[in-house]
Structure 1
Amino acid sequence: MKLDTKALRYLNSTDWRTLTAVETGSRNHEVVPTTLIANLSKSNLGDVNRSISLLAKANLIAKVKNAKYDGYRLTYGGLDYLALHSLQKSSTVYSVGNQIGVGKESDIFVVSDEKGEQRVLKIHRLGRVSFKKGVRNKRDYARTKAQKERGAGSWMYMSRLAAVKEFTFLQALYEAGFSVPTPLGQNRHQLIMSLIDGFPLRQIEKVPDPAGLYAELMEMLVRLCTLGLIHGDFNEFNILIKEEEQGEDIRLVPVLIDFPQMVSVDHPNAEFYFNRDVDCVKRFFSRRFGFISTDEGPFFDDTKQLIGKDGSKRLDVSVEASGFSKKMAKELEAYMKEHGVDGDARDAETNVVDTSGSEEEDEGDEQEDEGDKPSEPGGG
């Protein structure tokens, strides 16, 4: 599921209408009939067939083998193109640069706007891990309705939910003055944010004042909680450190990233997630900097009592008004719980490219085991 933008500039209006038609038809069809694609695109069948050939060659759609009728499904590559096309039309993205990070369920790229200002593109790919697990368990995705709901269409939908959730929470935190990247745009499973000139905490070997940085991180955790939120994956992978001049001194400023696993303080497991976040910071500072705080806190019950004391509104309540509903939250949480992606520090998002090669090997396994299912884009 690699992002390949080579064909992006060569698609014409008919190609985009055809690709959009496949996406629209996917809402009710696992395989979208060719005739329906032509009807939805409002183009003649000859033009649609030409576009289908081009889109299939670019791995933006795929023909399903042994289907009962002639039809195609949307691939993650096609979803990538549709999102990027919309972001381009809104002048949010003009060009795509290098990949700078890879997570268990996302890819991170540097992009630029028309003025050359660099930004970050995050692409949620929740199907990547779950699909591999499904292959290893020899699942047949075409056998039952429940299994179908775990198929590629469901993963794309869950990826959209993850992007909507992250962007909604990112906007809320940014507007509340929290130290996070600036939210710039979101479409489908992709979101755009400002590029932070810094490094993940996990890459930093020494800091001039470990106690000061530790205290600032604990304050971030406490402030999040007083706003009604638990990060759920607050660790050295998801904290960036940037330098800011402060007179003649340089101050290290932590910036928090990655929010798809964030939960409300009223969540049944909120205390567990809060304590895990606290313990992650304590463990890292002890191991990396040899710093152990004499203060055992913060404690969840004490912190929760501070909610609303300073007059701040609860963000876990306000985000629903911004577009991320409780129903969406339950669907996404159920997916992440089922597939074990609710905050594993070992596989958390970083802004360093993973060059281990394991992704390539797993994609090869997909090709071999998938059988009748069409290959994902970038799978070779």
Structure 2
Amino acid sequence: MKLDTTYMRYLTPDDWKVLQAVEKGSYNHEVVPTKLIGQIANLKSGIGNTNKAIGDLAKINLISKLRNASYDGYRITYNGFDYVSLKTLHQHGNIEELENTIGVGKESDIYSCSTKNGEKRVLKIHRLGRISFRTVRNKRDYLRIGKGGSWMFLSKLAAQKEYEFMNILYQNGFEVPIPYDCSRHLVLMERINGFPMRQLYKHHDYKKLYCNLMKFAVKLANYGLIHCDFNEYNIMILENNEIKNVDREKIENRDFIVIDFPQCISIEHPDAEFYFKRDIDCIRRFFKRRFGYKPKKIDEMMLDEDGFGEGYKYGYPVFSRDVERIKDLDVQVKASGYKRKLNNEDIQLQGAVKSFNEGEEIWDSEGEEEEEEDDDGESEEEGGEWEEDEYDVNEEDGDEDQSDEESEEDENEKIIEALSSGMGKLKMDKLGNYILVESDEE
């Protein structure tokens, strides 16, 4: 789908309110009733201007009617969804002008854009649901929550997940673009001064590049994640083999940047070893085909293991041999297949909370529970790292969890009621989610 922003400059404040009202109503209506649109928009000029704005938006295909609908109403189109998302990024001050198309992928469109200061950035627009890529819903578990959900909603989930991956990887010093902002199905990131590795035919030290790419895959796995699409199309080779951005002091010696992360999985995933091997094989095939490079069998006396390829002990990494978890980024971003495990700090925290509630000391500084005699004079001993599914909670803890779930459900019901009735104040966070605003927060 082509992004057309021709009419953005001509939309009035009333038009924007009505368009956002249709989007809000779409969260619990496939077709938003016209009366509800008016209630959510709540224009001071009355129902007349609301109907006028609806007509104007329908003419330029930002909203549309559904044929054979049982009631009068409208739904937002993909182009309308683009408009409200771009409007949010503009209000955040992160984008001023949308420029030319950089590329079109199987699940996204890539555009060049700039800020008020003229800084060049990249805007990625997720477009899940294209004919050639409709199996994505079955491949990513965060898109399988429930049987429903429009492709616009699933695109929003994919964009938010990619933004989370990029954010945490950049904070941990990985060679990824700087993530600037996210709004619904749009991700705004750094513009890389380079080209895809598939266009690489000459390199001053391709053996070192091979080694660094293998080390990237292993480091990523050691931090708990597997890319799952690690190939020449998602690796950007930097021009002049240097990074000029001063914010990249941690990785200034690298000569590539890795992109495209929505499909990342945890190393705890049942198929983690398969996907890791597939990523490694993609890089090996590329270097063999493009440079005729196939690392020779190394002398068994070679002990240097800080790399892969010629001059090192191993020609390429193997999941079972080279991957050793040192961080839990997969848990932090809830990647597909992750298992929540309690480390010593978690155990100590839970012990402290329980001691406050019951006046007991549960775990010592080593993460092991101190032996305490109960009322019957019997002692209990628990400790070590536990998986959440296997961890036994007492009745009191279960009541607290149930109370938290009930409060969350109550808040969701209040948001839905506010969207449906138009009564109640809502605001939007930086990711495009709606939250209730208390009366004293005005």
Q: If the TM-score is normalised by the length of the shorter chain, which range does it land in?
A: 0.7 to 0.9
Return the alpha-carbon distance in structure 2 between the equivalents of residues 157 and 280 of structure 1.
31
The higher relative CO (CA closer than 8 Å, separation ≥ 6) is in 1
1:96-135 aligned within 5 A: 96-129=98-131
The aligned counterpart of 2:319 is 300
Find out whether 1:22 has 2:22 as its counterpart: yes
Counterpart pick for 2:255 among 253, 271, 284: 253
Deviations 1:264-318 (A, max 9, x none): 10011111110000000001111111111234430001233x211xxxx321122
Counterpart amino acid of 2:20? Answer: T
Gaps of 5+ in 2: 136-143, 243-251, 297-313, 339-442
Q: Indicate the structure (1 or 2) with the bigger Cα radius of gyration.
A: 2
Counterpart amino acid of 1:307? Answer: R
Say which is worse superposed, 58-67 or 100-109, in terms of deviation. Answer: 58-67
Counterpart amino acid of 2:157? Answer: L
Find out whether 1:173 has 2:184 as its counterpart: no
- Please state how far the C-alpha of 1:254 moved relative to its aligned partner: 1.1
Counterpart amino acid of 2:286? Answer: F
The aligned counterpart of 1:335 is none
Counterpart pick for 1:316 among 307, 324, 330: 330
- Please state how far the C-alpha of 1:60 moved relative to its aligned partner: 1.0
SS at match of 1:108: strand
Q: Contact conserved, 1:244 with 1:251, CA < 8 A, in 2?
A: no
Aligned residues: 301
Counterpart pick for 1:70 among 62, 72, 79: 72
Q: Contact conserved, 1:241 with 1:252, CA < 8 A, in 2?
A: no
Counterpart amino acid of 2:317? Answer: P
Counterpart pick for 2:292 among 278, 286, 290: 290
Q: Contact conserved, 2:177 with 2:192, CA < 8 A, in 1?
A: yes
Change (3 A) 1:326 1:29: farther
Counterpart pick for 1:184 among 170, 176, 180: 180
Return the alpha-carbon distance in structure 2 between the equivalents of residues 36 and 25 of structure 1.
8
Return the alpha-carbon distance in structure 2 between the equivalents of residues 86 and 76 of structure 1.
16
Return the alpha-carbon distance in structure 2 between the equivalents of residues 95 and 326 of structure 1.
39
- Please state how far the C-alpha of 1:129 moved relative to its aligned partner: 3.1
Return the alpha-carbon distance in structure 1 between the equivalents of residues 126 and 214 of structure 2.
28
- Please state how far the C-alpha of 1:14 moved relative to its aligned partner: 1.0
**Percent identity for Structure 1 against Structure 2:** 51
- Please state how far the C-alpha of 1:31 moved relative to its aligned partner: 0.9
Return the alpha-carbon distance in structure 2 between the equivalents of residues 198 and 79 of structure 1.
30
The aligned counterpart of 1:352 is none
Find out whether 1:203 has 2:199 as its counterpart: yes
Return the alpha-carbon distance in structure 2 between the equivalents of residues 132 and 7 of structure 1.
30
1:1-380 aligned within 5 A: 1-43=1-43, 44-129=46-131, 154-244=150-240, 253-294=255-296, 295-304=314-323, 306-308=324-326, 313-320=327-334
TM-score w.r.t. length of structure 1: 0.75
SS at match of 2:153: helix
Q: Contact conserved, 2:269 with 2:336, CA < 8 A, in 1?
A: no
- Please state how far the C-alpha of 1:319 moved relative to its aligned partner: 2.1
Return the alpha-carbon distance in structure 2 between the equivalents of residues 224 and 118 of structure 1.
28
Q: Contact conserved, 1:229 with 1:263, CA < 8 A, in 2?
A: yes
Change (3 A) 1:245 1:30: closer
SS at match of 1:184: strand
Q: Contact conserved, 1:172 with 1:315, CA < 8 A, in 2?
A: yes
Counterpart amino acid of 1:230? Answer: I
- Please state how far the C-alpha of 1:53 moved relative to its aligned partner: 1.4
Q: Contact conserved, 1:244 with 1:252, CA < 8 A, in 2?
A: no
Gaps of 5+ in 1: 134-145, 328-380
Return the alpha-carbon distance in structure 1 between the equivalents of residues 333 and 236 of structure 2.
24
